[in-house]
Structure 1
Amino acid sequence: MKASILILFVSLHQTAIPQVNRESESFAPLSEELALQGVREMYNFQFDESRESFEKFTALNPDHPAGYFYQVVLDWFTFRMFKEDKDIWGEMSDELDRVVIIAEGQLKMYPDDALSMVYLGAARGLKARIALSKNDFIDTFYDGYAGYSIIQEAMRIDPTMIDPKIGLGIFHYFIAISSPMIRSLSYIAGISSSKEKAIDEIAEVSERGIYASIEARSFLMFIYAYIEEEHVKALNLSRGLVKEFDQSPYFHGKLADILLLNGEIEEARQHLELIPKLVVGLPDKYQMEMKTRVKFLQGESLRREGKPEEALELFIGLADLYTLEFKFNLGYIYLRTGMAYDEIGERKEAKKQYKKAVKLDNYTSAVRLSKLYLKEAYVRDDAPK
């Protein structure tokens, strides 16, 4: 996989909002409760309420980078799902430049202000993500590595901070599962970690973090479901997130998929039935994406019931409707379509689907399993011998 994907992940997850160390000399903003409220509203798809909370927080702290950064995070969070106008990249880049300027101003007055340093590093990380969207790999690496280094320095100054560890842990995780070449280059740059240690770092944030706990749990849910294939762990995390954020169609969709991975077909269908109600009032683009997602998971539930022909009626054509920038879910559309074709003896069609999944070349089990089924046809465990 391309090395740039490493920068992508550290950029995405350095957007986690830092935890304030209440025991150190206070450079912390006022009314942290407003910021935390805004974060929770954002994950629960209450975007107007979230923006209002962040704007109030910024008004109380006009000279601190925190509030401005939170508003950019909300823009980023909603843009990933809703926006069709790519010009927002320029607007977000300008907003991040303001965060950088304010954070650097704080650091000129207080050189050891670890909190402002974390905001600076997170802003640089998100700038790297924007550069990646424009295929500007020089700025992607420059800003991404700068963000990583700045957050490392903040952690050196104040090792009691928990939330910023999420960006470091995710970066370490993807280095650990990368190609030998990327691991070697990372080692030369002074970056090395085992996969187990990286997961422990993220798990610590999920358990002890304040602002980043949600993102840490969401990320662990993702890797357990789609990379590590520890589906019971993924299910436990997913159930907790849906209980906490019951208005999020995203979390309901993930839980439905993970329930299917665990063989819980009927419960998965219950969550799929909720999604059309939860997306009412959301932008048309997102409603269409979730409609495609629900259709795919309905097909997968049929396939798992031993009805591959009916599943294929829902699967066929779904890949052409896929519009998301990153192709993790697309790999599973190809994989499971191929599995359904194998189940009805259409080996040639199955191999076409597996080859499309393999071509995506990412770390997910969709690619690994597609490589396996290219060599040997998929056979259901409970199929007649």
Structure 2
Amino acid sequence: MIIAFLFLLLYMPLINDSTESIKAEKSWYEDRLNSGIEAFYQTDWDRANRNFEQIKTRHPDDPTPYFFESMMPFLEYFFVDQSEQLASEFLKKSEIAVELSQQKLEETSTDTTMVLMLSGLYGYRGLVAAGQGEHRIALQSGLKGFNYTRQLLSIDSNRPDARIGKGMFYYMVGSVPSGMKWATNIFGLNAEIEDGFHELKIAAESDSYVSNDAKMMLMYLYQKEGRLEDALHYAEKLTKDLPDNVIFLYKKADILENLGNREAALNVYKAIINKNNPDLALITEKSRKKAAELEKTDINSR
């Protein structure tokens, strides 16, 4: 007992210092991560990357900064330019996040954060593969993502983050071309596109931090299905909450233009031009061309 007391007496200052150090590091990490995520959603990617690079330097095994870095080309691919280059960049960067997340999950099998991240990563990878016409790869990625989603559902079926993974997977299964339906039947999978929309809507209406991600997917998928009024509904919500996000503004303008509301679309394109986001020069250039086309059409129609 005396030895134990002496041990505490001698080492208590070290224990306290260690505890304070852990608290300080946790606070630093949360500040950097929150600042990086906030900048990411406002498409201030230079500031976001600076924060994420600092985290990677001090926590090289943390998949979170790699996840958000991979999401930058993902957003450009889905909402601006579905080029092979952007698809390749996303798949390459997301692979690092997948590997680190799987390592973390092997260390702690109950780490729901890693399960969620893997669910999202595989889901997004599946959507990119589908966008490139690689339906077999899309289905395989979607299935892997849904396996992780099922782990979340077994914990809490009402989790908004789990519903996003479920919604994305249901949409992909429902949108597989009829000639490929045999592949889904082999796995015993059966879902309709509307099942996917239903799950995503629940997540979008939640108070969770993932609600914007659900709105983003609804905006994209509704436009993909030609349901422009529904797509505009979510574009309006996103641009109201994230007014500096030029990617969402560009998509909103595109939807408005396709709906025939050229004046409103022109105003949004001009707003993007005025913002002149240095991290997304392609959007500014595309908006400038779109605005010029709309103004020319307006003049010719008089």
Query: Is the structural similarity TM-score above 0.5?
Result: yes
Which runs of structure 2 are paired with 1:195-214 in the superposition (5 Å)?
195-208=193-206, 210-214=208-212
Deviation, structure 1 residue 257: 4.0
**Structure 2 length normalisation: TM-score?**
0.69
Q: Of 92, 97, 100, which aligns to 1:99?
A: 97
User: Does the 8 A contact of 2:105 with 2:111 survive in 1?
Assistant: yes
Deviation, structure 1 residue 292: 3.3
User: Does the 8 A contact of 1:253 with 1:294 survive in 2?
Assistant: no
> In structure 1, what is the Cα distance between the partners aligned to 2:171 and 2:84?
32
1:249–1:297 Cα change, 3 Å: farther
Number of residues paired by the alignment? Answer: 275
Percent identity between matched residues is 19
Q: Is 1:256 matched up with 2:253?
A: yes
> In structure 2, what is the Cα distance between the partners aligned to 1:146 and 1:83?
23
Deviation, structure 1 residue 201: 0.6
Which runs of structure 2 are paired with 1:1-385 in the superposition (5 Å)?
34-58=32-56, 61-74=59-72, 76-77=74-75, 86=85, 89=88, 93=92, 95-125=93-123, 141-183=139-181, 185-208=183-206, 210-225=208-223, 227=225, 229=227, 231=229, 233-260=230-257, 264-279=261-276, 281-282=278-279, 284-298=281-295, 302=298, 310=301
Report which of the two has the higher share of helix. Answer: 2
User: Does the 8 A contact of 1:202 with 1:216 survive in 2?
Assistant: yes
One-letter amino acid of the structure 1 residue matched with residue 234 of structure 2? L
Please list every run of 5 or more consecutive structure 1 residues that lacks an aligned counterpart in the other structure.
1-28, 312-385
**Structure 1 length normalisation: TM-score?**
0.56
User: Does the 8 A contact of 2:105 with 2:114 survive in 1?
Assistant: yes
> In structure 1, what is the Cα distance between the partners aligned to 2:53 and 2:97?
15
Please list every run of 5 or more consecutive structure 2 residues that lacks an aligned counterpart in the other structure.
1-25
In structure 2, the residue matched to 1:363 is: none
User: Does the 8 A contact of 1:163 with 1:205 survive in 2?
Assistant: yes
> In structure 2, what is the Cα distance between the partners aligned to 1:209 and 1:170?
19
1:288–1:215 Cα change, 3 Å: same
One-letter amino acid of the structure 2 residue matched with residue 244 of structure 1? D
Deviation, structure 1 residue 202: 0.4
Deviation, structure 1 residue 191: 2.3
1:40–1:184 Cα change, 3 Å: farther
RMSD value over aligned CA atoms?
4.1
One-letter amino acid of the structure 1 residue matched with residue 208 of structure 2? I
Higher relative contact order, structure no. (Cα contacts within 8 Å, ≥ 6 residues apart): 1
> In structure 2, what is the Cα distance between the partners aligned to 1:88 and 1:271?
26
> In structure 2, what is the Cα distance between the partners aligned to 1:225 and 1:200?
16
> In structure 2, what is the Cα distance between the partners aligned to 1:123 and 1:53?
21
Deviation, structure 1 residue 88: 9.4
Please give the secondary structure, in 2, of the residue aligned with 1:247: coil
Kindly provide the CA deviation profile for residues 182-209 of structure 1, in whole angstroms up to 9, marking residues without a partner as x. Answer: 4554244232223333212101111226
